[in-house]
Structure formats: C-alpha cells, structure tokens
Structure 1
Amino acid sequence: MTVKINKKIVSYGIKKPEDEAKNEATTAEKAPAEAHGEFRREGNVVHMTETLERPDELIGSTYKVKPPVADHAMYITINDIILNQGTEQEVRRPFEIFINSKNLDHYQWIVALTRVISAVFRKGGDVTFLVEELQAVFDPRGGYWKPGGKFMPSLIAEIGEVIEKHLTKIGMIQPAELDEHQRKLVEQKRAEYEAAQGQKDAFAENTAKEDNGGFPAGAQLCTKCNTAAVVMMDGCLTCLSCGDSKCG
C-alpha cells in the first residue's frame, strides 16, 4: 500500500513485535480507570479534568456577603475536591460554587455565573485568573464601601474577593502580606501622621477611625488595595494599609 508523505522526515525508527506487545499491555492497564473519564494521570499524580465525576461528598466553605446596595445577604458556597489523598502530592482544589439569596432580582445572572465558574473549576489548571477578572467588573451605578473602609466597585467584584479568600485558604494563592521591614515602616509613618495632626477632639477622632477601619478620617482611596487609607506625608501620598507610595 502506497503512502504519500507530505512532511519532511526528521527521524525514523524500526517497529519491533515486542514493542507492540508492551504498548498493548500498558493500554490494557490504563483502560479500566480512564474509560470512565475520571482523571488524567501523569506518573503517580492525578490531575483534575473537565470529565472528572463528582464524588458523593465534598468539603467546602460558605461565606456571607451583605452589600449595602442589596436588601438581603448572599451566601456563597465553594466546594473542594481532594486529589491524590493520602500521598505527598495531596492537593485541595475548588470544584463547584453555589450562590443563594432571598433576592430573586439577580437570579438569572447568578445561576449563569455559578455554572460558568463551576465549569472553569472542573476543567482544572490555574483558575486564579477568575479573581482578577471578577474584581475588574464595575457597576455603572457606582460601587459601595465595605466595613473597614474597603471599596467594592460592584457586587461581582465582591464575589471575586470571596473566591480570592477561598483560594488563599486552600493554598492556591499566596497571601500578599507585608514583610517585617514594610510593616515597621507603615507603622512608623502612621504614628508620624497621627502625631502631626495634633490634639483633636478624642470622641470625634475615635468615631471616625472606627467607621474607617482604624485609619485617619479624610483618608483617600488607595488604588492598589482599595482601602481608604491614603494620606499626605512629607509631600507624598502614602497608603497606611499596604504601604504603597507615589514617591516609591
């Protein structure tokens, strides 16, 4: 039988009968497990795939979100699956998400959003990009302030923050914490700012700090951490929460 070769030959090999027998034996070993489409295996490590079947029981966490723009709270549940349980490669990965609320005004887009996010979770791989994509959604009617002085541009953005919190909890995202030097520098700058303000009415000052998460009254919004903690110090805008400074 003549076979036309349309590509350049870069290597060749001799096919032996013992090689065929070895390949058939390897295929027969993998067939029972992979026939059900349960996982993809590389060596001894099992990876998530979009064909992974849902176990009867999953572990997860539920987070309460009560934005001031909504009449009712939203409860966000993220369930996880454990891969390679009992081995050195054991990992916990998100598998599905559910959002429940008494408010039926957002029912359609909530159902659509949870199905899409769950599909991304089940496909596996690096799903941390969802956090940035959701937090970049802005409400045309304007966002709102959370307790503690953090600004949320939309309800979708707060869902993204919940997913970020959960992925950080299970180890997929490393928490962005200040090192010891940065922490001391922020505390020093904060003390200098408060000292420069002089003696003010104690009651008014404490009330303002409580409403603003402990930061000085009149602080501006930080574009890096979305917290109202930016003050003018030594002629430079400095964030007292994350340490970001316009002067470097």
Structure 2
Amino acid sequence: MSIKIDNKIVGYEVVRPDAEAPPAKSDDGGGQRQSAKIIRMTEQVARPEGMEALEGATYKIKTPLDDHAMYVTINDIILNPGTEHEQRRPFEIFINSKNMDHFQWIVALTRLMSAVFRKGGDVTFLAEELQAVFDPKGGYFKPGGKFMPSIIAEIGAVIENHLQKIGLMEKEELSEQQQLHLRQKRAEAEAAHFEATAHAPSGESPESNGDYPASATLCNKCNTKAVIIMDNCETCLSCGYSKCG
C-alpha cells in the first residue's frame, strides 16, 4: 500500500512494538532537559565485601641515580573465584621511598594507575606506555646490563613482570633450540674472553659487564648490553636477536 506525501519531510522515527512510550514533555515552557543515560564501556571493579586484606607482591627498585630504593607494592583481587572463569587482576598500587623529591609525582602516578586498575578492562597497556618514557637527563644500566631509559620505565617493567606472574600477560620465552644455541654462543664468548684476559698486559685485563663480556653492546630489542660479534654477525646473548636471522 503506497502513501503519497505532499509535505516536506523534516524528520522521522522508527516505531517498534516493544518500545516504551516517550515521556511526556513538560508544559511549563521552560524547556526542561532530560538527563542523559550514562553508558559505561567496562564494569567497575570493586573491592570484595568483607575482604579487608588483599594478596599482593612488593618489588624493590634500586637505581644508581638515587641513594634510596623504591618499593612498589601491587595488590590483586580474584574475580569469579571457584569457577572456570577465575582470574586474578591488579586492584591497587603503592610506591614508597625515603626520597621525598619524588613524592609528588609518585602519589599522582599511583592514584591514576589504581583508578585504571579498578576501572576494569585491559590494563596491560600501562606497562608498555610507562616503559616508553625516557629521561632527558639519560637512563642507566641495571645489574646484568639491561638498560632503563628512566625510573618511570623501570616501574613499567615491574608492572609488566607482575602482570606476567598473574597471567594477564604472556612472557616471551625462547624455544629449547634457541636456548641451546645461546648457551653455545655464550660459552664461545666466555672462552674468547678468558683467552683475551690471559694475553692482556698486567693491569689491563678486560672486565665483563655483569653477565656478559665487556665488549658487548646494547641490544635494540631487549635493551640489554649483551650483543657480541659471533660468526661475523651481531648476536644478543640475552634474547637471541640477530641481524642475520
């Protein structure tokens, strides 16, 4: 059945059988506005009722830039306990240090991160974003040769390590064949290092950089000073990265 429309169309509305009747408009002439409905993208994560203590872990950060260490505590909650969907998630984070120079930004950072944890959803982006922060004054090397571009980046590394422990992030692990190859390369590098030490003049013996040779350079993939030249190819003894494939 066709219907002829003689007037100009200025609007339209789809009427559904199960649609609720629209609220009556106010006749007071004041143009009273309806309150908008708030739609949340994710559910708010709340502290379980009756639970005064949460399980967590504390990590120590000691940098060569400061005399005092920082202690990062991350507390978790368990969602859907006793079911197949049981999951452990971070709920709050605290950072404590004797150095009061960092107090202001530490309080702001921990409150923001705790709010993100309680908001729900995917929180793994925090670790990646924090590790991408660079200090304009320069970073530092941790024991073992791993480079940290800033203190914020090391806090991000701590969060990443914690998320890997509770199963929210997967840790990149080398295969058995790659581990065997690295062990062989490392043994060859140590043998070459001992040979260079034996033939070096007195007082000029090269020192190793943590767990890797002194001649090792920084790896662009894992930020560890563990890249050596083996078989005419740059190879990282930490993550296995090689320019030769």
Pairwise same-fold verdict (TM > 0.5): yes
Query: What is the letter of the counterpart of residue 50 of structure 1?
Result: Q
CA contact (8 A) 1:50 1:119 kept: no
1:49 equivalent in structure 2: 43
2:143 equivalent in structure 1: 147
Q: After TM superposition, list the pairs within 5 Å mapping 1:210-229 onto structure 2.
A: 212-229=209-226
The CA deviation string for residues 24-61 of structure 1, in whole angstroms up to 9 with x for no partner, is xxxxxxxxxxxxxxxx9xxxxxxx83362464221111
The CA deviation string for residues 77-111 of structure 1, in whole angstroms up to 9 with x for no partner, is 10101111122211110000000111110111001
Q: After TM superposition, list the pairs within 5 Å mapping 1:104-143 onto structure 2.
A: 104-143=100-139
Q: CA deviation at 1:213?
A: 2.9
Aligned-pair identity (%): 64
Q: CA deviation at 1:192?
A: 3.4
2:80 equivalent in structure 1: 84
CA contact (8 A) 1:60 1:78 kept: yes
CA contact (8 A) 1:65 1:76 kept: yes
What is the alpha-carbon distance in structure 2 between the residues aligned to residue 204 and residue 94 of structure 1? 51
Select the residue among 76, 87, 97 that pairs with 2:93.
Answer: 97
What is the alpha-carbon distance in structure 1 between the residues aligned to residue 104 and residue 122 of structure 2? 27
What is the alpha-carbon distance in structure 2 between the residues aligned to residue 201 and residue 186 of structure 1? 22
Please list every run of 5 or more consecutive structure 1 residues that lacks an aligned counterpart in the other structure. Answer: 16-39, 41-47
Q: CA deviation at 1:149?
A: 1.0
Greater per-residue helix proportion: 1
1:182 equivalent in structure 2: 178
2:187 equivalent in structure 1: 191
Q: TM-score, normalization: structure 1?
A: 0.76
Please list every run of 5 or more consecutive structure 2 residues that lacks an aligned counterpart in the other structure. Answer: 1-9, 19-39
Distance 1:141 1:102, change over 3 A: same
The CA deviation string for residues 112-144 of structure 1, in whole angstroms up to 9 with x for no partner, is 100111111111111111111000001111111
Q: CA deviation at 1:6?
A: 2.5
Q: Give secondary structure in 2 for the equivalent of 1:116.
A: helix
Select the residue among 6, 15, 32 that pairs with 2:12.
Answer: 6
Q: After TM superposition, list the pairs within 5 Å mapping 1:31-46 onto structure 2.
A: none
The CA deviation string for residues 142-169 of structure 1, in whole angstroms up to 9 with x for no partner, is 1111111111110000100110111111
Q: TM-score, normalization: structure 2?
A: 0.77
Q: Is the counterpart of residue 67 in structure 1 residue 66 in structure 2?
A: no
Distance 1:206 1:127, change over 3 A: farther
1:166 equivalent in structure 2: 162
What is the alpha-carbon distance in structure 2 between the residues aligned to residue 114 and residue 78 of structure 1? 10
Distance 1:198 1:146, change over 3 A: closer
CA contact (8 A) 2:58 2:71 kept: yes
Distance 1:88 1:222, change over 3 A: same
Greater C-alpha Rg = 2
- Root-mean-square deviation (CA), in Å? 2.7
CA contact (8 A) 1:49 1:122 kept: no
What is the alpha-carbon distance in structure 2 between the residues aligned to residue 146 and residue 182 of structure 1? 24
Q: CA deviation at 1:5?
A: 6.9
Query: What is the letter of the counterpart of residue 98 of structure 1?
Result: F
Query: What is the letter of the counterpart of residue 117 of structure 2?
Result: F
Distance 1:58 1:107, change over 3 A: same
